[in-house]
Structure 1
Amino acid sequence: MQDDRIEALIDAIENSTRREILRELTSFSSYATELSRLVGVSQQAINKHLFLLEKANLIHLVADSENGRKKIYIPSGFSSLIIDYSKNFFFVTKKDIYDDAENTPDLDEGSSLIDQLREVEGRIDSVTNERMKFLRLKDRIMERIHSR
């Protein structure tokens, strides 16, 4: 099941138009006609892309607009896709961002949101760099195991 969700996610985001749709929807909810204009593709193409994004659980329909003729889409299925590819291993996993939401640190009400964002981005970079060290070590260990 996890493999199916990963495949659906990869299939959905491999297309640059669908990635652009997701970028737009993370800024504001929208409907197909507006997305067509913003992204610069036909209404028919947008509908196809929206169908595939919805199938991959990356967006969903929240409601029709006031007159009931326009479907409003919002992003969903928030996750981190991790692909590790080296000489000695290949691993893909998807982690849902809000699975462990109760362990999310609180905002620091005493400092600006921009400063907090910078700190969080810096910590993510630091963790990523540390992770890369461990991936290189894993690769070396796997190489030794394979050479025996």
Structure 2
Amino acid sequence: MSAIEQKLQEMGHSLPAPKAPLASYLPVKRSGNTLYISGQLPLNEEGLITGRLGDDISVEQGQNAAQICALNILGQIKSAANVPLEDIAQFVKLSIFVASTPEFTDQHLVANGASNLIGDLFGEKGRHARAAVGVPSLPLGACVEIEAIIEIAS
């Protein structure tokens, strides 16, 4: 077990197996030392977290969903891209989509669920640019979807 996976375990999380794509796309695309991770949904062993913020999902539930998305990103890096987590040079950017009502304006707080987890795990390498965008709906009714751009060591 890697040091990052051990730290993850100490935080009460485990690295999930990567989820298969639900449509016609690659879960990870590598270009040089850059990994482009396709949108990850809050899907774990308990199922998919669905709903909309400002409707039937609280900010705290949204943050938990964002954490699950971040864990799924890590699972894709390790398994689908076959890159050890220790080879991550930096998280460049997260794009976080939050299914929400028009009145909901705390997408940035929901996004912190993913950003804080990555920052806690990777320290300075985990600091990233970010977009947190409210959208009316996401695939399969998911409440959050996150895509990532990550630089890996050569």
TM-score normalised by length of structure 2: 0.22
Q: Which has the higher contact order (CA 8 A, sep 6+)?
A: 2
Tell me which protein shows more helix as a share of its residues: 1
- TM-score, L = length of structure 1: 0.23
